[in-house]
Chains A and B, each alone.
Chain A
C-alpha cells in the first residue's frame, strides 16, 4: 500500500506492507538514524517524534502514520549543525558506542521543550524508555542538565526560531 507523511519537514509518498512497522519504513527509505534495537518498545533506540510526541517507531504501524508529521534526530541537528543537546552529549562523554544516542537526544529534546528546567527525577522519568548499555546513565543525565542550563539562556530565541546561538 501507499501513503504520504512528512519526515523532517518533507512530505513524501512511501510504499509499505499493511502490517509494516514505521521503524522499517523509515530505515528502508534512508532514515537510518532511526536505530533498530529490540523491536519491542523496550530500548528506545528507534525513538522518533510523531506529531511532536516521542514514540517508539517499532511500535507504530506505518499505515497509522499517514498524514502525520515525523521528526528524526537529524531534524534536531546533525554533524554540521549540532543542536545544543547533541553538543552537551559529546562534551560530557554521554556517548560511547552511540547506538542509543539518537533516541536519547529525541527524548531529551521532548523533555526540554515541555520542561526547560527539569529535576533529576524528571530527567530519569523522561528517559525511562531509553536503554544505554555503555555509559551507566550518569553522563547522560549530566548531558541533559548541561543542555538544559545552556538552553535556558537562549530558550526563547531557540524555541521561537529553531536556531541556536
Chain B
C-alpha cells in the first residue's frame, strides 16, 4: 500500500494550512492526478466539501469556482452566451463522463498539453484567484509561468469577461476520442470593416503554448476585405516538440492551415 494520507478539510482555511505543508496536493476531480501519478505526493486534500462550487455573473464579469466541472461551467455559460469561447472549447473536450469529473481548477493547475480550456483562458486574459502563500488575483499567464505564484497556493476560482469577441476553437484530433495534438483559440473584435483586436493562442506546442503576436499584429486595424488567408498561413511559425501524436513539422503546417480556416470562418462564416 502506498504511504499516502487523505485529508478532508471542512473550510478553505484548513485546506490552505494543509497546502502549506508541501508534498500535499489538492484533489479536485482527480483525473489529472491519475494521469500524473503519485510520485512525490505524501498526501491528498479532498476539496469537495469546500465552498468552491459556485459561479457568479455580474455585468459582463464571470467568476467560476474552481470545483465546477467542465459540464457545469458549460451549463452556466450556455445560459448567458452559448457562443462563448469557453463553451466552444469545453463542449468537445474529453467525453461526457469525464466532463462530469474534470474540474476547472484542477485543469488549470495540471495544464496538460492537450488542454482545451487553457487556450481559451489564455486568449481571454483570464485571471486565477488564489489563496494561500499567494493571496489574490493573478493573470492566468503569470500563474502558468511563475512557479512562485503557484507554490503552496490553492486555486479558488477563475475570472474572465463576457466580451463581444467573435471566436473559433479548433482541436487537432484524428478521431473524436483522441487527445488533441494541439488546439487553437482565435478571438476577433470587429468594428465596421476593421479588425479592432485579436488573440491567437495555440496550446500543445514545444513551449506548451504559444501566443501568435505576429498574426495578431497582422490582423489588428486591417480592413476585413484586405485580410489574405494565404499570407496568414505563411506567417505561422510554431515549433512543436518531438513526436507526441503527430510529426512536429506536420503539426506546424496543419496549425497554419487550420488557423487560416478559423479566421476565414469567423470573418466570412465559412
- Chain A residues in contact with chain B, CB under 8 A? 1, 17-19, 21, 41-42, 44, 47, 50, 53-56, 59-61, 63-64, 66, 107, 125-129, 131
Contacts of A59 in B (CB 8 A): 30-31, 34, 97-98, 101
List the 3 shortest-distance A-B pairs measured between CB atoms, nearest first.
A129-B95, A18-B4, A129-B97
Across the two chains, which residue of chain B brings its CB closest to A126? B96
Minimal Cβ-Cβ distance residue in B for A43: B177
Q: Which of B8, B34, B94, B96 contacts A61 (CB 8 A)?
A: B34
In the complex, given contacts A18-B5, A59-B101, A125-B96, what are 17 additional A-B residue pairs having Cβ atoms less than 8 angstroms apart? A18-B2, A18-B4, A18-B44, A41-B31, A54-B97, A55-B98, A56-B98, A56-B101, A59-B31, A59-B98, A60-B101, A61-B30, A63-B6, A63-B46, A64-B30, A128-B177, A129-B96
A54: contacting residue among B31, B33, B96, CB under 8 A: B96
Q: Is B192 an interface residue, CB under 8 A from the partner?
A: no
Total interface residues on B, CB under 8 Å, equals 26
The smallest C-beta distance from A71 to any residue of chain B, in angstroms, reads 14
Closest B residue to A125 by beta carbon equals B96
Task: Name the residue on A nearest B6 (C-beta).
Answer: A63
B110 at the interface (CB under 8 A from A): no
For residue B48, CB closer than 8 A to chain A, the reply is yes
Chain B CB within 10 Å, residue with most, of A60, A107, A128 = A128
B96 and A64 within 8 A (CB): no
